[in-house]
Structure 1
């Protein structure tokens, strides 16, 4: 006769229980692994009050670690099950492409770097902006649909930063930075005739990579837009320069890390990133011909007008 054993929860519980002192070690490691991605998500979605030395974020992280530690100690007897659930969630996130191991690593790097090396923001007061000079001529000169402009931009993306892995959500911005690198490394400043402003088309400037600030801005804007970027032109007293839309504060953290560590580490070493925040809270980064890296120092900070290319 076959004997049927009665299910005993205590026996199952005993099998999954980890012996001391390894349970404390595992709890500590699991605490850190859970706290990091959770803290990154909260950091990206909570308003940053910009406290001194980011004390608000330090307090948030410590509080999270304490709470998670208490919960894990209560679940000490099934700690192996907790580890398996954590790994399953990250593997699932990596598989479907939402949030997995790579995302945690990339976001952690971006967050920590930005907390240590804050960019330098400049706000634009839209209400004070004036009409953009030569607006219609400049818009017509930005020939982003011209095959020559697009072919140039595509060639630039094949020559710079192709080796960068990960950060797929920022691929277009990285490729626009490749265009920036190609144009700014070849640009030769030449003044307009004394008779007045000469607005060169993007294809004209493409021939010799020469011209004044508005010619550079037109070529940069056309090239960036031809590969999916969103550029705009800023008018100051006696100067025009291009900017590129980065996105939110979270996007800025990732771009800050990329510029300083992957794309322009030498040019940006020990320097800040300069950008503007528009009336919708979107971040635009400087691409002037005077900048050695995206987000380089502004040549002129007094903003008189802005021309956004939607």
Structure 2
């Protein structure tokens, strides 16, 4: 990619310097994502049962999935997030089975119970621990979105927005409400999923319950709030931890 920039006869030296700096920043961001994912995989080794369930579930889905499903241009998360796809739904339920019970109470409210938070944690742990990070620094992560079904077919591989799409799809498939957020620094960007915990005091109280679901009593996970006072749990590479310090964020998509 750097060679192409240097060989571009139409670009000025200033343009070349700017584009090389952007490529370097993308590469740095890629390395940071890979490091965070490696740490998440190490955290998830304790969940050997969940990882085995993920492997078995993918094996069972192999004949139902199409690796050739096309990428979606831009940030078309409304089409990429696929909680109602039978394969995505079956995979999600299989991962969540280790925390039996209703995801929400009252039913249909999307307000997670302790069982629901346990399901979200197990889904996230299985995905992050099994994920194969693939990114091309020459291509911006925001240029394309991989549908959840396609990412399953590829065996859990992709970059940050592919991971965010699959996490959002899976937690919505079992009854949660998710959104995808973009964060930006001066030269790079990142995408991650978040899980709605509720509005007001109910949402804030759910944060400590989410910490217990992750086996960390007393810990307050990373989260954000919306204009209605809703609390959203960060589901980045590591459960409840954000892998960057953005100077600006935007909500790119919110589930129903």
Q: Which has the higher contact order (CA 8 A, sep 6+)?
A: 2
Match of 2:160 in 1: 213
* Contact 2:81–2:148 (Cα < 8 Å) also in 1: yes
Match of 1:264 in 2: 214
Q: Which structure has the highest strand share of the two?
A: 2
Match of 1:141 in 2: 80
Correspondence for 1:203 among 145, 149, 154: 149
**Unmatched runs of 5 consecutive residues or more in structure 1:** 1-132
Q: Equivalents in 1 of 2:125, 2:203: separation in Å?
A: 19
- Normalized against structure 1, the TM-score is what? 0.48
Aligned 1:1-310 pairs, distance under 5 A:
134-135=74-75, 137-158=76-97, 160-162=98-100, 170=113, 171-192=115-136, 194-196=138-140, 197-207=143-153, 208-237=155-184, 238-252=189-203, 254-261=205-212, 263-265=213-215, 268=216, 271-289=219-237, 291=238, 293=239, 295-306=240-251, 307-310=253-256
- Normalized against structure 2, the TM-score is what? 0.57
Q: Equivalents in 2 of 1:260, 1:278: separation in Å?
A: 20
Q: Equivalents in 1 of 2:203, 2:218: separation in Å?
A: 17
What SS class does the counterpart of residue 149 from structure 2 fall into?
helix
Report the RMSD for the aligned CA atoms in angstroms: 2.7
**Unmatched runs of 5 consecutive residues or more in structure 2:** 1-72, 107-111
- The CA deviation string for residues 180-232 of structure 1, in whole angstroms up to 9 with x for no partner, is 12212212221047355342110121131111000001111111111221100
Per the alignment, do residues 244 and 154 of structure 1 end up closer, same or farther by CA in structure 2, a change over 3 Å counting? Answer: same
Please tell me whether Structure 1 or Structure 2 has the larger radius of gyration of its CA atoms.
Answer: 1
How many residues are paired up? 168
Q: Equivalents in 2 of 1:296, 1:193: separation in Å?
A: 24
Q: Which structure has the highest helix share of the two?
A: 1
**What's the CA shift for 1:177?**
2.6
Q: Equivalents in 1 of 2:123, 2:233: separation in Å?
A: 14
Q: Equivalents in 2 of 1:247, 1:143: separation in Å?
A: 22
* Contact 2:135–2:159 (Cα < 8 Å) also in 1: yes
* Contact 1:274–1:298 (Cα < 8 Å) also in 2: no
- The CA deviation string for residues 44-80 of structure 1, in whole angstroms up to 9 with x for no partner, is xxxxxxxxxxxxxxxxxxxxxxxxxxxxxxxxxxxxx
